[in-house]
Structure 1
């Protein structure tokens, strides 16, 4: 009988898929331009709120969502690359680095958008508070970081395909349902302590996450609309 372990709590799952939706909206609207830039800006604010939430949840969230439990040490990364580390329930060391890179790149894109100004269709809400030279720097970062994001997303999708095709491990299902199924024949790959690390996903965690995200959205909304 397979062992079922809760890996991703509901807040993390909703964060993940909401971020996917808003990133797609952002890419579509910026290529449409015109009136769609209003939606692009709104999507960017939502992305920034989600990234801020994820950073907080990385310190106060459930077990597998916390940075301290998945960010690898140099030695841990080295052992993983040599194939000497045990299997993990959440992000493996390379996956962890990919997650951190995506959080940073997406956050950078959202923050630089607040200061961007194309002098035609869009002006970020904070562009008026900095010099034209600073705005130009933010514009450049916002433009070139698009390519970085596309590259990281491509790597992310390739990793999902690789694990599905060659390792027979479905990375998408746990992010949909929250649980990971461990076959008894595979339990030896994991540390015994690791197999007992379920992520708490009860009403208290979900309510806390909702309150946190709501506060972030209200505070961010205040600053971008004042």
Structure 2
């Protein structure tokens, strides 16, 4: 049986979602580096944080009104679907899943929540240096804005872990399952097995 009978090439990722994905990836990496090694005055870190916030707002809206593969209702599955997918995740065959598989859907939500946490804690953080104060730090109790500094640092570590897991799974799918997940996020096209 030829490949054309087993799977067909379809448009999965729309241009707006692909732009969001690659722009977010770049901004998150640069902002993490600025947070760790950047200048003491975090003006650029703040500006990129606002850009990340705008991208997150877009993604949430797009998760309800965007094309089917981008919509949360299309790719979020229940525990039984995740368990079913996990039973076959080690198979050495491509899954050809339309859009996000059930495990990938969980990673999307985890990354969105971690980044929302990062933006939120960054907005209210007050490291008491009188320079790098979040714009909303004055709107919350001082004890909360001081705790937000540590929460923001912890969140940066969580985002980094999620980013490494994301890249590791992409490599796993490429090397173990012979499934390229990067090209569809560049071109928008993916081979999908017909069920």
Shorter-chain TM-score above 0.5: yes
Question: Is contact 2:75-2:101 (8 Å) kept?
Answer: yes
- Over aligned residue pairs, what C-alpha RMSD do you find? 1.7
Query: How far does the alpha carbon of each residue in 1:110-132 deviate from its partner, in whole angstroms, 9 at most, with x for none?
Result: 11111011122301110011111
Matched, 1:65 2:70: yes
Report how far residue 28 of structure 1 moved.
Answer: 2.0
Over 3 Å off, 4+ runs: none
> Within the alignment, does 1:179 sit opposite 2:181 as a pair?
no
**Where does structure 2 lack aligned partners over 5 or more consecutive residues?**
90-94
Check conservation: 1:115, 1:125, Cα contact below 8 A.
yes
Partners in 2 of 1:162 and 1:152 — Cα distance?
Answer: 15
Aligned: 1:19 with 2:24: yes
Q: Spell out, residue by residue over 1:158-210, the C-alpha distance to the aligned partner (whole angstroms, 9 max, x if none).
A: 0000011111111000000101135xxxx3xx32xxxxxxxxxxxxxxxxxxx
Q: Structure 1 residue 127 and structure 2 residue 114: aligned?
A: no
Could you tell me which residue of structure 2 aligns to residue 32 of structure 1?
Answer: 38
Q: Aligned partners of 2:61, 2:13: CA distance in 1, in Å?
A: 16
- Residue of structure 1 aligned with 2:15, choices 5, 10, 19: 10
What is the number of residues matched between the two proteins?
183
Does the CA-based 8 Å contact 2:127-2:146 persist in structure 1? Answer: no
* Structure 1 residue 136: Cα displacement: 1.9
Partners of 2:116 and 2:145 in 1: CA distance: 17
Matched, 1:50 2:55: yes
Q: 1:91 to 1:38 in 2, by over 3 A?
A: same
* Structure 1 runs not aligned, ≥5 long: 192-226
CA contact under 8 A between 1:22 and 1:43: conserved in structure 2?
yes
Aligned residue runs from structure 1 range 143-162, under 5 A? 143-162=153-172
Distance 1:65-1:15 versus aligned 2 partners, 3 A rule: same
